[in-house]
Structure 1
Amino acid sequence: MLKSRRLVLSAVALTALAMVAVYVVLTDRTQRPGNAAALAFQRLDGGPADLASFRGQAVLLTIWATWCWSCREELPALARFHRALDGRPPAVVALSVDRDGAEIVEPLLEQLKVKDLPVYLDPTGASVARLAISGLPTTILLGPDGSERARWYGVKAWDQKPMADEIAALLAVYKKTDAR
């Protein structure tokens, strides 16, 4: 009796585990909480900006803050990656979630000698909740249709060939679709 009860419980546990595995495989992991396209933020000069203005373009969106040491380490490589793109996709958006905005962001950019990186501000931190950000830096690759194609956590060597190749492969799907 005890042995059959254990077998039943094991079968139930295995069935539940299998159901979770099927859910994970079948769930579209490109969809995250919130609508990224509706995300509004500011330019460094205080003017309004939003992700909707990038519609039709792939976007590499990095959420970062000045107090985040990993973010400080990553920003120069992200700037070099942006420079190497020379206007080719994806558009790079470095979104600071510092509450003090440009007052604290601009001196850090100067200190790091990061001059040509497209930096935006989200002093309310709305992007953290809307995009379900769990740590900084977090970088999200959005396809031209606004869907999330990939998400990376922590420092990445954006200016190194393996990262450029990974992004190119993720965006190649759109080139094939456009060719049809």
Structure 2
Amino acid sequence: MDTAASTTVADDAQEQLDTIAPGGFHPFRPRLHDETENPETNTARPLTDAVITVRIIKSFAYRSMKALVIPHIDLTSVTIEELEEKCRKEVASTPSFKAFRSYATKLDTIKIYTRAHGSKTTNLIINLDHPEWLLDADKGRTLADAGLENEAELSFFNREDYEAFLADPTTKW
């Protein structure tokens, strides 16, 4: 190893020793490949190749739900109605949704749970804060027209159960 390289290594080691916090801990400094660029994940992928998560809700009171991750979905061409049908088929045919199969035909409403990098609700099962996020007005709209982006989370549930939970939002064990 040449002298210049060994001097740089020694300087780096001394710098690390100088920055050790009390108790022998190193300060947390994550390093990105390019520290000038840190794209948010909702804009990192195009709308034609997004990843969304659909929370299939069986019971609001008992908070029983299972997440369905849908990769490589084209938000500019898939409609709300097509997404509902895709989710019903997944619930009815996927082994991990066995406990939800009998409930698949009752699922009829989609609501936005959260958008990527947005604030989340304190309710663990569904977002009760935004009634305007219900996607039932025009099911022929595309998901992009409904305001969805990459890494959005949606809730898919039975509307009657949702209305009953709004009237009495108590949870059970």
Same fold (TM over 0.5): no
Q: Given the two structures, how large is their TM-score scaled by the length of structure 2?
A: 0.25
Q: Given the two structures, how large is their TM-score scaled by the length of structure 1?
A: 0.24
Q: Greater CA radius of gyration, 1 or 2?
A: 2
